[in-house]
Structure formats: C-alpha cells, structure tokens
Amino acid sequence: MLGMTVILAGPYAEMFLADYGAEVIRVESIQHFAPGTRGQYVWPPKGASGYPKDDPGKRPWNRHGTFNSMARNKIGMTVDVTRPEGMEVFKQLVRVSDVFISNYVPSVLDRLGITYEMLKKEKPDIIWAKISGYGDTGPYRNYRAQANGIGALSGHASFRGYRDTDPSELPGDSAADPAEGIAAVFAIVSALNYRDRTGKGQQIDMALFENFVTYCPQPFMDYSMNGRVAGTLGNRDPAAVPSGNFRCLGKDNWVSISVFNDEQWEGFCQVVGEEWVRDPRFKDPLSRRKHEDELEMLVESWTKGHDHYEVMHLLQKVGIPAGPVLTDAEVFQDPHLMARGLFVEVSHKEAGTHLYPGALARMKNAPLSVRHAPVRLGEDNEYIYKEVLGIGEDEYQKLVETGHIGMDYAPGVR
Amino acid sequence: MDVQALSGMRVLDLTHFIAGPACTKRLADYGADVIKVERPGAGDGARALGPFYHDDPHPEKSGLFLYLNTNKKGITLNLKTSLGKEILLELVKKSDVVVESFRPGVMERLGLAYEDLLKVNPKLVMTSISNFGQTGPYRDYGMTELIAFGMGGPMFHKGEPDREPVKYGGTPSIFHAGAVATMATTVAYYGMKRHGNGEYIDVAIVDTQIGTMDGRVSALVQYQYSGKSGTRGTAIGVGPAGAGSGMFPCADGYVHFYGGTRVERQIKMMGDPPELRDPKFIDPEAQADPLVREEYEAYFLSWLMQHNKKEIFDMGQKTGNVCAPMYTVDEVLADPQIKLRNLFAEVDHPMTGKVKYPGRPFVMEESPWAVSRPAPLLGQHNSEVYSELGYRKEDLVALRQSNII
C-alpha cells in the first residue's frame, strides 16, 4: 500500500493497515515539508512542544510525538513527484501496489496529475482511498478542512459545550480525524474484498465531513422525524438524571456519574447515605429531572469529599456507571488499562524508547506486533528503490544527487 | 443491489444498544447479510431510547434504533433455552462472523463462548464488544459516553480550567467504538478468506478511545515524550503565530478559523485593508506580543460581524483559509454541498413512513452503500430465517408459545 498522506486521518489509516500486516510505504519528499505532519516546522523554534524532553534534536522530523504515535510498522521513502522523473518513480510504485491512500486537498492532486485514470493506467485494479475534507465533487471539493471546522459544519459544534456559555468558548474538537482513519481502513479492506471477488478496483471518495455526520445521528433523526433543532445538553443525558462530571478531592479531579433508573438511584442513596438523598424532590426520574440543578449541586457536595477512583468503585459496585476523568499521566497508572497491556514499548533510533498505544481491538490469533519503529524520513529508501522497484545503483545515486532520495530535508526547505 | 463490497459476508448479530449495532450497521450497509438476533418480548434495549418518531415512545419508533439497524434481518431467539441455543449454533454454522456485545461472561455462561462456537464453525470470526474488555479489574463495570470519553478519551482537556470538563454532544465515542469494531471485524474476515484462519476479537469501548478518540493518542505520546500533562483552557488551534484562530461570532452566527501559521491569508480574505498593512501582523515574533494580537483580533472580529457565515466561508476558502461555518442540524441539511452529494438517505419504514437518515460514511464508486431494507420490526424475519433451517409455520407457533422465539 502506498500512502501520500499528511496530518492525521491518512497517516492514522496507514498505521492500522501496517499493524494488520500490510506493507505500507509512506511516499514523502525531502523538497517539501507539510506543516502539521512531522511537526509544525522543519527546524522548530526553541520551546516548541512535541519532542522528547522538549528537545527537537538533530532531525526534529523524526522526533515529533504526534507523527510517531501513528508511524510504526510502516516503511518510508522519499521522491519529488513534482518533477517528471519523480512522478515516474511514483508510477512504478503504483504498478506494484494494491492500494493508494491520499488525504491532500483534491486540487493539489489535480496539479500533480494524480487522477484515478492515471492510477488505473499503471495498475488496472488499483484501489484508491481518496480522503478529503468535503468530498471529491461539489462546490467545496477544493476547500481546506481541519477537524474543528468539520465539527462546526457537521452540526456537532451546535449541540456540544457547556449549557451556559457561548460557542466562541467551545473547546477543540478533532474527533473527525481519527474517525476518518478508522473508516478508511474499513473502506480499503472492503474494497480489497470486492476486488478479490470481482477483479475490480475502485476509487473510494472519502469526505471527513460525511463520515463524521454518521457519528451524531440522534440530533439528525430528531430533526428529520420531529423538526427539532438540537442545542447543547452539556454533560446531561436525556435518559439519566443525575448525569455529569462532578468535582472530587484534589485540585482538578473529576468523576463521571450517570443514574438511569430507580434501581440505580436506590443504590446511589445507600452509598451516599446522606439525608438529602431521601428528599421527596428526588424520589423518581421525573421529579429528579425537575430538580436537576439542585440535585447536581448536592451530588457534588458528596463527591467533593471523595477520591475520584473511590467514587467509581463505590458506585459501580451497586450497578451505577461511574468513572474518573483521567489525565494523561493517570492513564499510565490506571490498574485496568495497564493490566490489559494497552501500551506497547517501542524503541526508536532517534527518539528513544517510549510507550505507545497498542492494539485498539485485541486479536487472539494475530495479535499486534511492532516490526518497525515509527518510520523515519526516507528510512527505507534503499529497500524500496532497489528491491521493490529494482532500481540499479547508478540510477539510485543520480536520484540522491538530484534531491529525490535522502533522509534530511533539502537546505532551505521550511 | 447486485454486488456490494461485502456481499457474501454472513454476519450473525447478537448485539444491542449502540456500539455493537453501530459496528454491524456499517457491515450491513455495504452489503453483508446480517441477521440480528433479539430477545423475544422487549427486543434490543435501544428500542426504548429516543429520539422517537413524533415523540411516541413505541418500540418500533425509536429513531436511534431505526438508524442503527438498517439492512438487517431481524429474528427473535431466547438464548437461555436449550433449543434456542441449538438454533443459534445452527445459525453459527451458516455464518462467517458472529458479533456480540453482552456483558463479559454471558456468552460463556450460555455455553456460547468462542471455543464452543468453533466446534461448529472452525473458521469463525467472532467479535466481542464490551465496556472494558473481556478481562481486567473493571471487566464488569458499566459504561456511558461520559465514561468512554473521560477514562479513555481526552475529556480532561475539554472545557475551562476552573470548572468541570465537558463532553461532546450525543454519543460519538460510542459510535467510534462501533467503527473500530467494524474495522477489526472486516480485517479479520478478509484475513479468514485469504488465509483460512478464524479470529477472536476483544473490543473494549475504553480501549478504542485510548488509541483514537480525538487527539488522545498524540497527547498520550507527547506526555511520554515530555512528561507534561496538558490541562483545560488552552486556546484551541492557536498556532505559533497566534491570532485569528477559534470559533468567532459573525453577522448571522459563528465561523471557525484554524489560524495556525497563515495570518496573511486572513488579511487577504479581508481585502488587504490599510489598517493591517503593518508587517508586524504577519511576523511570528511580533504576533507573540499580546498587544499586537489584540489589535489584529479587534479588526478581525469587527470585519466578521459585517459578514454572514456562508459568505465568510466562501471568501475565506478562496483566499486559502481553513475555515468553516457553524451549522445547526437544519442548516446542514440545507447546505449545497450536502444536497449535491446526497449525504442523507430517505428510508421508508412501515411505522414512520419516509424519513431522512444520515447516509453513507464514504462513497465506494463500484460497490456502493445502500439501504435495501429499513430496520426490522421485532421478529420480522422469523419465518424467513427459520424456514431456511427447516422449521415449519406450526413449529414457529410452538416456539413462540414456549418463548423460545
């Protein structure tokens, strides 16, 4: 599989495909740097975040946490496809590949001459997962998208956030990006399945916007069926009261609690054991909803005196869903998450050894194995050019000299 | 539909509520033959969840259930009876994939663990979706969107520093878990077809968030790299050059701008006004000065208030800005891009008539997504499915009366 991808959705999809055993080749260029992929800058300013111990190091593009978090198991090469001999290399790669995945704005691919017809010429049954913000057709085809904007245009921003603040105070929303990566893997493997049965490849037109809309059907169904335009419920839940995040002991510790029915409420009363729980205002779901504001304050008056993990265990024991809101540090100390072996240690030649999230879905017979550390720029040029494409030493050297092949960005590239 | 991408994939669906059905919905919508097994009487618990058609809380009118269960054939079966179990095993024999989302331990207690099912179908792909996974200290704990997003996802980073973290709207974390299960199940199925080996997949909703939801994975790795754990209230999307990034009010609503490092493009959008000619506005060092940023934002904000969100969207995009209008759900359905691309699909159901549902997550040019049938009525396909197993009409009456179906 060939990947010409940037930022998040594309690289993320590549990682899962590689994790599942595919040979995934990242096609990059030492002549062009795409901000937001291997860091924001080729040479980051002092104090730029994302690097081990805040040190960009000799080759910052190989040391950026975000990139490295989705780069293991892939192999990488460099070529400048904006020049004819580079495009010829790309075509040779297509000839020996099953899948091509991209997430550049369609107009960029147009300018490069990368179209489905062109790809099909090299490999008639090629599968192309073409990821864009808004899709390969329509007035927004060449519009630039970022996950927060996708959240805004998809309606998601209109029904999230605190109930009492302005949308201008909304926290960030990048859910659309990893959602797209996951969808792309499903799309590609489905297309491979179709190809195996019919011999036909295809283009898959993947719009971040469209996939994300399918993550929020409730407000859309309510509008379709009942004409209601959803606003935000904050942390409240139409089916549970009380439901929210409540402050616990400590500076900034919180627990999520949701009580769905009278059975759970009874358990809640017994655990809390304070007089107010037996107040007639809280005796049934309708009444609890009517007095939800007061109820939330009282719940917090109880949780404030307890540790967030303690609250989880006390309430879960009586069948109430509850859980601490975990900081990044707490994730690595959580007994359950660590017992599940959710993280895998990976050693990287230039970034060091760290824990990275492992398999999202645990497979019994084909568990995750990390065969290749997060791929460095041009790390596998020799293998890909010489063995996969069969290019001779002389031609290889020529491509090195003309700025196609390398492991460092060309001087002047920013 | 002649041949869809997953035509021929036979799925036995024992899931209920949201995550499981979301997983199997994607399979069904792209052509898999999905048989949804519900318990006799009440059926899938999602039938009791809103929003309801015309606010009528009828088990055949849950908008959530209708959306999640398109294209599936529906049967009822009581797995706690010995004949029910036998029937299930007959169905497993004729399936490629089984997906279930019972509490961990339930399938074992029913005698339907992976090892049991393998005996009738050695190449079976089985996916178990649960809250916290099949093993571990929280194995039996309950789950909600809040918990998924708070324990697994980045909720701690969402909101203001001196008040509670805030979740996303609806249940996107749970849908995400379903999508991860779809991905893994499809991969395992494809692997089984190619290599002949079945697979058992343990999908924990909380795991799916750790690896993916939002920026969680990069935050966790960045924590590993730097030892720094982020908090709430840091401005969203504010790149090194600062200004003009976030959700801003405009004449008729709000617009989101991802400023990053390209302030000069915003200036171009606003027509290169003389007030912003000073090079300080595009110099990253100068932009770090809060007074410079304030000056810029004052102009920017007043310009926005003189334009509509759609106008700003088009003008901004044409000058290379990454911006988007904030829509409410009705505005989404009215947008020209969405209408041209037919993102919403009209589905006809006997209890609701025609209703527009969110449609395909992506477009497969050769093997399209399609809704060939709406969500099933409870037990709608009992006679079809059971007659294929050799049961006659009279048998079904007897089975119903003994609450096996």
Q: Is the CB of B247 inside 8 Å of chain A's CB atoms?
A: yes
* A157 phi, psi to nearest 5 deg: -65, -25
Q: In whole angstroms, how large is the CA radius of gyration of chain B? A: 26
Beta strands in B61-131 (DSSP E): 73-76, 97-100, 125-130
CB atoms within 10 A of CB A14: 29
A45 pLDDT above the threshold of 90? no
* Strand B125-130 with A352-357, pairing: unpaired
pLDDT on residue B294: 84
CB atoms within 10 A of CB B108: 14
Q: Is the CB of B192 inside 8 Å of chain A's CB atoms?
A: no
How long, in residues, is chain B? 405
Does residue A162 contact residue A171 with C-beta atoms inside 8 Å?
A: no
* Alpha carbon distance A104, A108 (integer Å): 6
* Strand A25-28 with A75-78, pairing: parallel
What is each CA distance from B280 to A404, B239, B295, in whole angstroms? 36, 16, 11
CB atoms within 10 A of CB B94: 15
Residue B245's pLDDT band (cuts 50, 70, 90): confident
The beta-carbon neighbor of B327 closest among A155, A316, A360 is A155
* Strand A254-258 with A243-247, pairing: antiparallel
Does the beta-carbon distance from B26 to A186 stay under 8 Å? Answer: yes
What are the residue ranges of helices labelled H in A59-115? 65-68, 84-95, 106-112
Scanning A321-350 for CB atoms below 8 A from B yields: 321-329, 331-332, 334-337, 339-340, 342
Q: Is the CB of A368 inside 8 Å of chain B's CB atoms?
A: no
**What is the residue type of A41?**
Y
Sequence-distant (6+) residues with CB within 8 A of B163 are A162
* Alpha carbon distance B188, B312 (integer Å): 46
The beta-carbon neighbor of B226 closest among A54, A169, A239 is A54
Q: Which helix (DSSP H) or strand (DSSP E) does residue B255 occupy?
A: strand B253-258
Does the beta-carbon distance from A66 to B218 stay under 8 Å? Answer: yes
The beta-carbon neighbor of A200 closest among B136, B183, B366 is B366
Angle at the Cα of B361 (from B358 to B362), degrees rounded to 5? 135
List B33's β-bridge partners, or say none.
Answer: B10
- The residue-averaged pLDDT of B19-37 equals 98
CATH 3.40.50.10540 residue ranges for chain A: 2-214+344-401
Burial class (CB in 10 A: 0-12, 13-18, 19+), B146: buried
pLDDT in tens, A31-44: 999 988 999 889 99
Residue whose pair of structure tokens reads 């006997």 in the numeric block: B350
Q: Helices A176-198 and B172-195 meet at what angle, rounded to 10?
A: 30
Min Cα separation B93/chain A (Å): 20
Per-residue burial over A309-332, b = 16 or more CB atoms within 10 Å of its CB, e = otherwise: bebbebbbeebbbbbbbbbbebbb
* Alpha carbon distance A147, A137 (integer Å): 19
Does the beta-carbon distance from A319 to B175 stay under 8 Å? Answer: no
Pull the structure tokens for residue A97: 């590949």
What is each CA distance from A48 to A44, A64, B216, in whole angstroms? 6, 10, 19
* Alpha carbon distance A220, A158 (integer Å): 12
Average confidence score pLDDT of chain A: 95
Residue B237's pLDDT band (cuts 50, 70, 90): very low
Q: Which CATH class is domain A2-214+344-401?
A: alpha beta
pLDDT in tens, B277-336: 999 888 877 877 888 888 888 899 999 999 999 999 999 999 999 999 999 999 999 999
Contacts of A247 in chain B (CB under 8 A): 164
pLDDT on residue A174: 83
pLDDT in tens, A221-275: 999 999 999 999 999 999 999 999 999 999 999 999 999 999 999 999 999 999 9
Beta strands in B276-372 (DSSP E): 322-325, 344-349, 353-358, 363-364
Does residue B181 contact residue B201 with C-beta atoms inside 8 Å?
A: yes
Strand order, beta sheet including A322-324: A243-247, A254-258, A322-324
Does the beta-carbon distance from B156 to A328 stay under 8 Å? Answer: yes
Residue A341's pLDDT band (cuts 50, 70, 90): confident
Burial class (CB in 10 A: 0-12, 13-18, 19+), B322: buried
B50 pLDDT above the threshold of 70? yes
Pull the structure tokens for residue A272: 């809390």
Residue B260's pLDDT band (cuts 50, 70, 90): low
Q: Is the CB of A54 inside 8 Å of chain B's CB atoms?
A: yes
pLDDT in tens, B332-375: 999 999 999 999 999 999 999 999 999 999 999 999 999 999 99
Residue whose pair of structure tokens reads 């795991």 in the numeric block: B207
The beta-carbon neighbor of B201 closest among A185, A324, A363 is A363
- The residue-averaged pLDDT of B100-110 equals 97
The beta-carbon neighbor of B364 closest among A202, A213, A229 is A202
A79 pLDDT above the threshold of 90? yes
The beta-carbon neighbor of A205 closest among B64, B324, B362 is B362
* Alpha carbon distance B298, B302 (integer Å): 6
The beta-carbon neighbor of A225 closest among B53, B218, B321 is B53
How long, in residues, is chain A? 414
- The residue-averaged pLDDT of A142-155 equals 94
Question: HSE-up of A183 (CA within 13 Å, CB side)?
Answer: 34
Does residue A177 contact residue A9 with C-beta atoms inside 8 Å?
A: yes
* B359 phi, psi to nearest 5 deg: -100, -135
pLDDT in tens, A278-334: 999 999 999 999 999 999 999 999 999 999 999 999 999 999 999 999 998 999 999
Min Cα separation A393/chain B (Å): 36
Pull the structure tokens for residue A65: 């946490």
B236 pLDDT above the threshold of 50? no
Predicted ipTM? 0.97
Closest CA to B10 of B84, B68, B93: B93
* Alpha carbon distance A290, A301 (integer Å): 19
What is each CA distance from B263 to A143, B276, B302, B309, in whole angstroms? 17, 11, 16, 19
What are the residue ranges of helices labelled H in B306-347? 309-318, 329-334, 336-340
Does the beta-carbon distance from A323 to B151 stay under 8 Å? Answer: yes
Residue whose pair of structure tokens reads 């407000």 in the numeric block: A219
CATH 3.20.20.70 fits A243-331, yes or no: no
- The residue-averaged pLDDT of B26-31 equals 98
First to last CA, chain B: 30
Q: Which helix (DSSP H) or strand (DSSP E) does residue A300 occupy?
A: helix A292-303
Does residue A122 contact residue A95 with C-beta atoms inside 8 Å?
A: yes
CATH 3.30.1540.10 residue ranges for chain A: 243-331
pLDDT on residue B240: 36
Domains annotated for chain B, with CATH where assigned, are 10-214+341-401 (3.40.50.10540), 246-326 (3.30.1540.10)
Q: Helices A9-19 and A176-198 meet at what angle, rounded to 10?
A: 50
Min Cα separation B19/chain A (Å): 11
* Alpha carbon distance B116, B125 (integer Å): 13
Pull the structure tokens for residue B251: 């004449």
Scanning B20-79 for CB atoms below 8 A from A yields: 26, 30, 49-55, 63-64, 66-68
pLDDT on residue B238: 36
DSSP helix/strand/coil, B287: helix
Q: What is the pTM of this model?
A: 0.96
Residue B230's pLDDT band (cuts 50, 70, 90): confident
**What is the residue type of B198?**
G
CB atoms within 10 A of CB A283: 13
* Alpha carbon distance A314, B214 (integer Å): 29
Residue whose pair of structure tokens reads 């939002």 in the numeric block: B214
Q: Is the CB of B214 inside 8 Å of chain A's CB atoms?
A: yes
Pull the structure tokens for residue B250: 């405009």
* Alpha carbon distance B65, B36 (integer Å): 12
* Alpha carbon distance B167, B159 (integer Å): 9
Beta strands in A89-209 (DSSP E): 99-102, 127-132, 202-207
What is each CA distance from A200 to A136, A191, B369, in whole angstroms? 20, 9, 17
Question: HSE-up of A108 (CA within 13 Å, CB side)?
Answer: 16
Dihedral angle over CA of B6, B9, B12, B17, nearest 10: -10
What is the torsional sign of CA A281, A287, A290, A295? Answer: positive
Does the beta-carbon distance from A69 to B220 stay under 8 Å? Answer: yes
Contacts of A327 in chain B (CB under 8 A): 156, 229
Residue B219's pLDDT band (cuts 50, 70, 90): confident
List A265's β-bridge partners, or say none.
Answer: none
* Alpha carbon distance B148, B210 (integer Å): 9
* Alpha carbon distance B154, B158 (integer Å): 7
Scanning B101-120 for CB atoms below 8 A from A yields: 114
A377 pLDDT above the threshold of 90? yes
